[in-house]
Amino acid sequence: MTDAPRSSPPPSAPPQPKHADGTPRPLRVLAAMSGGVDSAVAAARAVEAGHDVTGVHLALSANPQSFRTGARGCCTIEDSRDARRAADVIGIPFYVWDLAERFREDVVEDFIAEYEAGRTPNPCLRCNEKIKFAALLDKALALGFDAVCTGHYATVVVREDGSRELHRAGDAAKDQSYVLGVLDERQLAHALFPLGDTLTTKEEIRAEAERRDLAVAKKPDSHDICFIADGDTQGFLADRLGRAEGDIVDEDGQKLGTHEGAHGFTIGQRKGLRIGHPAADGKPRYVLDISPVDNTVTVGPAASLDVTALTAIRPRWCGTPPTGPGTYTAQLRAHGGETEVRAEPAADGTIEVRFAEPVRGVAPGQAVVLYDGTRVVGSATISATHRERATTQPA
């Protein structure tokens, strides 16, 4: 299944709203402003397009100082101030909304629970699903806004029948459609991504911000996980889940060493294993399996990481769900490449995905996002991976 090559997509705004007398009125747009350059330029472009724009910064931490400081995150006091200054320059109203409790429950606690169960979650994807396009959008619509605008690099394409599809951004290097693969058609109908419709590079966005006198023009991009202050994921998890010694074993069950908590490992990990002696063939070993029940980590050669198929749960479709098997490409990580797959929805609500060629670095808890050309078909959470030799499925 493939899409025709995409040139200039149709306008991606929601339908033109009207006053009570039937005359058109501007879209009322709520611009989510993180304090970074992308969301600031997106808000400015929305104003330039003639929309009635209001800026909002999401306060996602009850104690912002416990999250990242400086310019590396999206949950700091500095970020809220940067967002406010940008709104002032653009000339739009600005508010701060407290979603800290919702963020803690839906993103942070989910992240911890997933690692505790031996899975590897993507908190940015969960934040888009639960916070920016559930809590935020629902509140925006209740207040009379027509759409939510963000600085994501992706494109909403409007078909002739009025339906909407999510497509990759014009600049493939900045494409963020993977973390938006959780959006359904209703949410897409109220989403604006002003940076995704054109072949605009990040360097051009920064130059545009400078022309607009936005102080965030040279602010570094955020990296890693915003709610882990020092970037130490293992330490963050250990503080919350504790340390418990367990065994590191090979594929035959032979003990090779010990660890302080299975939650500190991810499938495909090579560094930090602290195994006392090398493999017989002298080659590196990788984490193949994580068992939270007996606190055991299994390691082995790189070839044993080859995954031929997977099972995924909780599918989210960006439009009409497929009714049968199809050939797609799949993306397994936010910055990963695509691989050809055959995917089929099952009667129990799961999706069976088989790879045309074996892939590595696939773990339960990750999201698999299916594409038909540039179009995002939908996403699902990986529950099990299947290999020639073994199956990885947390208990």
What pLDDT, in 10s, does the model give residues 215-255? 999 988 776 688 887 778 888 888 898 888 999 999 999 89
**Could you tell me what percent of the chain has a pLDDT over 70?**
88
List, in sequence order, every residue forming a beta bridge with 32; answer none if it has no partner: 56
Ranking 8-12, 64-68, 104-108, 187-191 by mean pLDDT, the lowest is: 8-12
Task: Name the CATH superfamily housing domain 28-218.
Answer: HUPs (3.40.50.620)
| pLDDT for res 21 | 75
Does residue 393 carry a pLDDT above 70?
no
Tell me how crowded residue 4 is: count the other CB atoms within 10 A of its CB: 7
pLDDT tens digits, one per residue of 133-147: 888 999 999 999 999
Q: Give the whole-angstrom CA distance, residue 376 versus residue 183.
A: 10
pLDDT, tens digit (0-9, with 9 covering 90-100), for 154-175: 999 988 888 899 999 988 888 9
Quick check: 359 and 337 in contact, CB under 8 A? no
pLDDT reported for residue 7: 38
What are the strands, taking DSSP E only, across the chain? Answer: 28-32, 52-59, 94-98, 147-149, 154-158, 164-168, 191-192, 246-249, 255-259, 286-291, 296-300, 307-317, 326-331, 338-345, 351-359, 367-372, 375-386, 391-392
Question: Is 226 tagged catalytic?
Answer: yes
pLDDT of residue 71: 38
In the set 74, 75, 149, 226, the catalytic residue is: 226
pTM: 0.86
User: Where in the chain are the domains?
Assistant: 28-218, 243-303, 306-392
Strand partners, 289: 298
Q: Which of 124, 127, 149, 318 is catalytic?
A: 127
Over range 8-33, report the average pLDDT: 74
Report the distance separating Cα 313 and Cα 379, nearest Å. 9
Longest CA span, the chain: 80
The answer to whether residue 67 scores a pLDDT higher than 70 is no
- CATH number, domain 306-392: 2.40.30.10
pLDDT beyond 50 at 8:
no
CATH class of this structure's domain 243-303: mainly beta
pLDDT exceeds 50 at position 69: no
Identical fold at 28-218 and 306-392? Answer: no
Please give the single-letter amino acid code of residue 310. Answer: L
Give the residues across from 355 on adjacent strands. Answer: 341
Question: What's the DSSP call for residue 131?
Answer: I
Per-residue CA distances from 340 to 166, 310, 382, 391 (Å): 19, 13, 17, 21
